[in-house]
Chain A
Amino acid sequence: MLIEGFNPRYVKMCYFATLGELGYKTRVSLSNGTTASGALTDDLHVSFEAFSATGRRLGAVDRFDVIRPGGFTIVDVEDHVGPGRAIDTDGADILGIFHMTPGRFIERDVIDIELADIFAQVSVSDEYIEYYSRQWSVAAGLAYQSIPMNDPRFGGTRSTLMQSPKLLVDNETDTNLILLNISTSPDYDLEISFDLAFIAADGTRVANHNIRVPAYGFRRVSSREVLRAAGAFERFVQLGGNGMVVGFSDRGSVVPLSITRNDRSKGLACDHTLPPMYYLPWWGGEVRKAANQRVRELLFSGSPVAPR
């Protein structure tokens, strides 16, 4: 599929949200995984832009680094954004995007490119997002590929079914869901409504929560706060303090990340979730739509899911 008029800065990205509200700084390992013998061999020119949680564009930093094939760099986000920085903010958390633009596209505003070629460039390497605190001697993070999202030019339906069986919540542990609403289309403006169901280990649905994630914005959801607000915290802890959270949107793709924090040590567990195709590689089409509809009726309507 040929994508016409594509902004080449979106060919290879690294998107993430910072975690300053919880006391951590953010740094990102970026790399150029192309090799001298590969078809994609090229320099990657690094630039940066930042958005507020509500999706307001805060500013950008033009190309500030070049990663040669096989090379690495690590970037402290606070070097570019925050009070008195190039992107001058009040220090609130941001959604950041590092753009790693191949050198062959660097002087062009738009290109025509095959969708497969975008995915080929994305899949060359993971990027590692690290949250750290020297005060607490903590450095933890996760690696993922920032795939193209929410771009109508790519066709297909955009929905999200998140299943995250690593919901750990008790008096000293909280699991935060970080939800990003990203696109490869600069004109993108869809706010995504994302439904969450919190399910105890025995299968009892103990709370529901709806969150709206603005375009180019993000949300952090504290599972402990949701459970407390629903009056379900004590019960969830009594049932083991662990379970599963299911998220669903039938209009828009959300990037769901899970960050569990131990309040005592300040240690973090960070990971993404796995989309349905990891469980059923052929899942899709009408079968998926019908199943999603039933999941929605069962988990996000008034009827409870009975434990067995």
Chain B
Amino acid sequence: MTTARSVAKRGVRVAQRISNRAGHLPRRGYAHCFIEDGGVHSRLHLHHFYSLFLPDVTEPVDVHIRVYTAEGRDLGTATRRLAPFSSLTLPVAEVLAELRSDAKLGTVAVDVEPAADYSRRLVEVGPQGAIAQSPFWMGYYDDLGSVAYIHSIDQYYGSVFGIGRIAGLAFRARWHRGGAWTSKRLIETKGLRRADAFLVNHSPSAGRTTVRWLTHPGGVTLSERTTTVPAHGAIRVSVTDTDLDRAGEAPEMLRLEVDELLTGNGKPYVMVRYGDGPFSLHHG
């Protein structure tokens, strides 16, 4: 590690110690894309993970779910309580109804707040500056039997939970734009009906980028969108069998490119459909 980085890291530790003299447990959330459109539904897979780290503490956790529209508008927060070792498969439609929204695309950020006994104990046994994080899975499904789930691909940046606003500045995760990215997955075009890329901006700052579907190995652009994605917003960029037909000589494969990931690991979600079959979804 360079001297400058070492000094910076030490500085952060000092700031954390000074700002958190009360010894709270700071928490970082994670965010996901939700889809409630075209028959596709989303659901959160949540669980009381503190049970598996401190199984002798038998208190509940409160799961706070903050919802944003694709345009980055904060719709509010829903909360669910989970008992030890319990889990919850929570439809996004239920959360949207609670928040009186009919958003079709957006993001959800999850913070799992443990009872005080968990925080106190983890601060006791953890190192100086110990934090907790709340990754979770998002599921996608439809009435035709499609099923998919995906783990958190990046954090919910800009906020830290469980600690005061000033102290939060010392504990917040640093984020950066992720630069150019290209999918490592090649998508077969034979029988492909459509492919959708969903790009989330996990950061607290709007960012401009281009998402592009290309033939492989030819590198011909089939579909492309350049736009500014609001903080905590999301966009969809699709390619269909019609686009493939327009490409002339049928390409064998497709791949996806993003000129600038909006956070370091903010890779797009990729949904594909072949023929009349179910969709699948994974992270790029």
Contacts and interface: CB of A to CB of B under 8 A. Distances in A.
Interface of A: 29, 31, 33, 72-74, 125-128, 130, 132, 134, 136-143, 161, 163, 165-168, 172-173, 199, 201-203, 205, 240, 242-244, 246, 258, 260-262, 264-274, 276, 278-283, 287, 291, 294-295, 298, 305, 307-308
A265 B191 contact: no
B151 to A, nearest CB: 6
B88 interface: yes
Contacts of B135: 274, 278-279
A286 to B, nearest CB: 9
A269 B85 contact: no
A138 B192 CA distance: 10
Contact of B85 (A205, A279, A291): A205
Contacts of A199: 85-87
A287 B171 CA distance: 23
A291 B87 contact: no
B102 to A, nearest CB: 25
B52 A240 contact: no
Nearest to A33: B184
29 contacts: A29-B185, A72-B255, A74-B253, A138-B278, A139-B188, A139-B280, A140-B280, A143-B185, A165-B45, A166-B137, A166-B149, A199-B87, A201-B86, A203-B83, A205-B85, A240-B89, A258-B149, A262-B147, A265-B278, A268-B280, A269-B139, A274-B135, A278-B135, A279-B134, A280-B53, A280-B130, A282-B127, A291-B54, A308-B83
Interface stretch (B12-20, B92-100, B200-208, B268-276): B268-276
B185 A308 contact: no
B133 A279 contact: yes
B177 interface: no
Given A262-B147, A271-B282, 6 more contacts: A266-B278, A267-B148, A269-B149, A279-B134, A281-B133, A291-B53
B21 to A, nearest CB: 19
Nearest to B89: A242
Contacts of B101: none
B237 interface: no
B203 to A, nearest CB: 20
A74 B187 CA distance: 9
Interface in B27-64: 45-49, 52-56, 58, 60
Interface string B137-149: 1010000111111
Contact of A165 (B47, B122, B125, B150): B47
Contacts of A141: 185, 280, 282
Interface of B: 45-49, 52-56, 58, 60, 83-89, 122, 125-127, 130-137, 139, 144-152, 184-188, 190-191, 216-217, 253, 255, 272, 274-280, 282-284
B276 A137 contact: yes
B282 A143 contact: yes
Given A143-B184, A274-B135, A265 B277 contact: yes
Given A139-B280, A201-B88, A126 B184 contact: yes
A298 B57 CA distance: 12
Contacts of A307: 83, 86
Contacts of A132: 188
Nearest to B184: A31
A306 to B, nearest CB: 9
Contacts of B272: 139
Nearest to A268: B280
Given A161-B52, A202-B83, A280-B133, A166 B45 contact: yes
B191 A134 contact: yes
A295 B56 CA distance: 9
Given A29-B184, A267-B147, A140 B282 contact: yes
B89 A262 contact: no
Contacts of B147: 168, 173, 260-262, 265, 267-269
A137 B87 contact: no
Nearest to A173: B147
A267 B53 contact: no
Nearest to A241: B89
Report the 9 A-B pairs with minimum CB-CB distance, sorted nearest first: A137-B277, A265-B145, A267-B278, A140-B280, A137-B275, A165-B47, A203-B86, A308-B83, A128-B185
Contacts of B85: 199, 203, 205, 244, 305
B139 to A, nearest CB: 7
B131 A281 contact: yes
Contacts of B83: 202-203, 307-308
Contacts of B151: 271-274
Contact of B278 (A128, A262, A298): A262
A139 B274 CA distance: 8
A165 B137 contact: yes
Given A137-B277, A166-B137, A280-B122, A298 B55 contact: yes
A125, A265, A272, A295: which has the most chain B beta carbons within 10 Å? A265
B45 A278 contact: no
Contacts of B282: 128, 140-143, 270-271
A196 to B, nearest CB: 14
